[in-house]
Amino acid sequence: MDFPWFEFLGLMLAFGINAVIPGADFAMVLRQSVVHGRREALLTSAGIATSILVHGSYTLLGVGVIVGQSLLVFNILKWAGAAYLVWLAIAALRSPPPQPPVVGQGEVAHKGDMAAFALGFLTNLLNPKAVLFFLALFTSLVSIHTAGQIKVIYVGSMSLMLFAWFALVSIFFTTPKVRAGFFRFGRWFNRVTGITFLALAVRVALAQQR
């Protein structure tokens, strides 16, 4: 069985373009990078990438069609996603200004690894647009004749691509000079990120089925 490289590359190109457009995932990784450091940002990136496996799995199993066509399920997912983003916004607005780690002490003890992972996972999972995006992507770019194991490779590749992208974002925003620049903003950084999450919550709340 020949691997459908043309279909694969078209799918990855479309997914890659969508991945680099700033949204809730990008805002979350940026905040994690500045406030908590590289480890937490990478774990958050891993959570986002793992969520892609979930989206891809239910799309391949046909559940995505049900979600995409059911107004009730779509609205439940939409309002859950909006509520989660509002919660993130409130948490950001109430947080103390980000501070550089104490020299010689390193970052804060890594007790919140699972929390960092869950932040990324839920931020992506509760995005109703992701459901419709995956459904549209596979419907328009993947042939019904493509073997199931090939589609699994597609989903795994998209997850790896997204992790690689956000890992690069994490590394960039945790370089000392870049991170120090954000520290100078103090509470303004929390206000901007909080307002960003609120704006994204409004966008999710206004999302419509198509």
Q: Could you report the per-residue pLDDT of 137-188, keeping only the tens digit for each? A: 888 888 888 888 999 999 999 999 999 999 999 999 999 999 988 888 877 8
Check residue 98 and give left, alpha or beta (phi > 0: left; psi -120 to 50: alpha).
beta
Whether the per-residue pLDDT at 120 is higher than 80: the answer is yes
Q: Which of 113, 128, 124 has the alpha carbon at shortest distance from 64?
A: 128
Structure confidence at residue 68 as a pLDDT band (50, 70, 90): low
When pLDDT is cut at 50, 70 and 90, the band that residue 205 belongs to is confident
Which one is predicted more confidently, 101 or 160?
160
In the chain, where the domains are located: 37-97+111-205
Among 7-11, 58-62, 179-183, the minimum mean pLDDT is found in: 58-62
pLDDT digits (tens, 9 = 90+) for 25-39: 999 999 999 999 999
Instruction: Compute CA distances 92 → 32, 82, 111, 124, 125, whole Å.
Output: 11, 15, 19, 18, 20
Is the pLDDT at 18 greater than 60, yes or no? Answer: yes
pLDDT, position 32: 94
Per-residue model confidence (pLDDT) at position 103: 52
Interatomic CA distance for residues 74 and 82, integer angstroms: 12
The dihedral through the CA atoms of 115, 37, 88, 99 has a sign that is positive
Stated pTM of the model? 0.86
Judged by DSSP in three states, 120 sits in helix
For residue 153, the tally of other CB atoms under 10 A from its CB is 14
The pLDDT assigned to 111 comes to 53
Mean pLDDT of the 103-111 span? 51
**Residue 193 in contact with residue 30, Cβ under 8 Å?**
yes
Average pLDDT of the segment spanning 127-137:
81
pLDDT at residue 4 greater than cutoff 70: yes
- Of the candidates 53, 63, 42, 28, the one whose C-alpha atom is nearest the C-alpha of residue 170 is 42
Provide, rounded to the nearest whole percent, the portion of the chain with pLDDT above 70.
Answer: 89
